[in-house]
Structure 1
Amino acid sequence: MGTSTPGERDFLLAQARELYGRVVYSHKAHEKQADIYDARHRRFQWCKVILAAASSGTFLAALAGVFLEAQISSLVISFVALLLSAATLAGDTFKYGEATQRHRDCAARLWSVRESYLSLIVTLQSSGADLPAARQRRDDLQAELEEAYGNAPRTSPRAYRKAQQGLQDQGDISFDPGELDRLLPEQLRQGRNDADV
C-alpha cells in the first residue's frame, strides 16, 4: 500500500473536500449562467418574431393609419422595422444560444469532476484506503479540473449569486434521507426493513 505519514489521510481528505466544494459551486454557476443566457436567447427570439410579424404586415400600417396621421404612421412603421433590425443585430452579436451551450458543456465536464471528487472522499473515508492510489487520483482530478477551467467561459456575478442561493437556500444537490431512499432501488435503501425483502 505504500508509505504514508500519520495524518496524511486527513490532509488528503480535507483537500478533497475543499476542492469538491469549489467544483460544486463552479458547476452550479455554469448551470445558472446557461439558464440566464437561455432565457435571454428565448426573449430575443420572441421579440424578433413579434417585430417581424408587426413590421412585415399591412396590419401595422392599417392600424397606425386609423389612429395616426400618415406621416406619423410611417414613422411608427419605420421605428418598428428599426427595432427588428436592432434585435436581429443584437441576437447575432451576443450569440446567447452558443453561449448557453458552452456553459452547459462546461457544467457537464465539471459535473464529472465533481462526482469523481465525491468518490475520492468516500474512498478516503473508508478504512484501509490506499493513500498512494488516492494521491494519484487527486493529481489526475487536478489535471482534469485544470483543463475544464482552462476552457471554461466566464460566469457572471448574477450566476454565482443564483448558484449560491440554490445551493445554500434551496438545497439544489442535497436530499433528505427519506427522499433519497425513494429514489433508490429498494435493495439500496437505508430505511428498508430486511425482513420485508
Structure 2
Amino acid sequence: MEQRLVNLYNQQAMFCYGNVEWSHKIHEKAADLFTTVNSWLRWIQLILAFIISADIIKQFGTDSPVISGILIGCSLILTLINTITKSFDFNGRASRHIMTANALWDLREDYRSFKYDIQA
C-alpha cells in the first residue's frame, strides 16, 4: 500500500513538474516575443522620425506631391506606432513575463526536490 502511494505521489509530482516547466518555457517565449516587437518598433520609430524631421528630401528643392504624400504617410505610420507603443508597453509586458518565468523556475526546482524526496 505504501509503495502504491509513493508511486501515486511520484506520478502527481511529475505531472505538476511538467506543467510548471511548460508554463516557464511559454513565459520565456512570450518575453522574447515582446522584446523583439519592442525592438523592431523602436527602430521603425527612429527611421521614420529621421525621415520626417530631417526633411532631407526637401533639401533638393522639390515640391512634388508624391514626396509630400510619402512624408504624410510616414507621419501617419509614426503616429500609429507611437500610439501602439504607448498603449501596449511591450517592455513592461516582457519584464512581467520574465518575473513569472523566474518564479516558475523556483517552483520547478521545488517539484524536482520533492520528487527526489519521495523516491528516497
TM-score normalised per structure 1: 0.57
The alpha carbon displacement at 1:10 in A equals 1.1
Give the structure 2 partner of residue 85 of structure 1. Answer: 79
Q: Cα gap change, 1:63/1:43 in structure 2, threshold over 3 Å: closer, same or farther?
A: farther
Give the structure 2 partner of residue 175 of structure 1. Answer: none
Preserved CA contact (<8 Å) 1:34 1:104: yes
The CA distance in 2 between the partners of 1:59 and 1:72, in whole Å, is 15
Matches within 5 A, 1:4-153: 5-62=2-59, 65=62, 70-126=64-120
Structure 2 regions of 5+ residues with no counterpart?
none
The CA distance in 2 between the partners of 1:64 and 1:79, in whole Å, is 20
The alpha carbon displacement at 1:60 in A equals 3.3
Q: Deviations over 1:29-73 (max 9, x none)?
A: 0000100111001001111111111110121333693xxx52222
The CA distance in 1 between the partners of 2:85 and 2:20, in whole Å, is 31
The answer to which structure, 1 or 2, has the higher relative contact order (CA under 8 A, 6+ apart) is 2
Identity of aligned residues (%): 27
- Considering only aligned residues, what root-mean-square deviation do their CA atoms show, in Å? 1.7
TM-score normalised per structure 2: 0.91
The alpha carbon displacement at 1:125 in A equals 1.2
Preserved CA contact (<8 Å) 1:35 1:100: yes
Count matched residues: 120
The CA distance in 1 between the partners of 2:71 and 2:60, in whole Å, is 10
The alpha carbon displacement at 1:83 in A equals 1.2
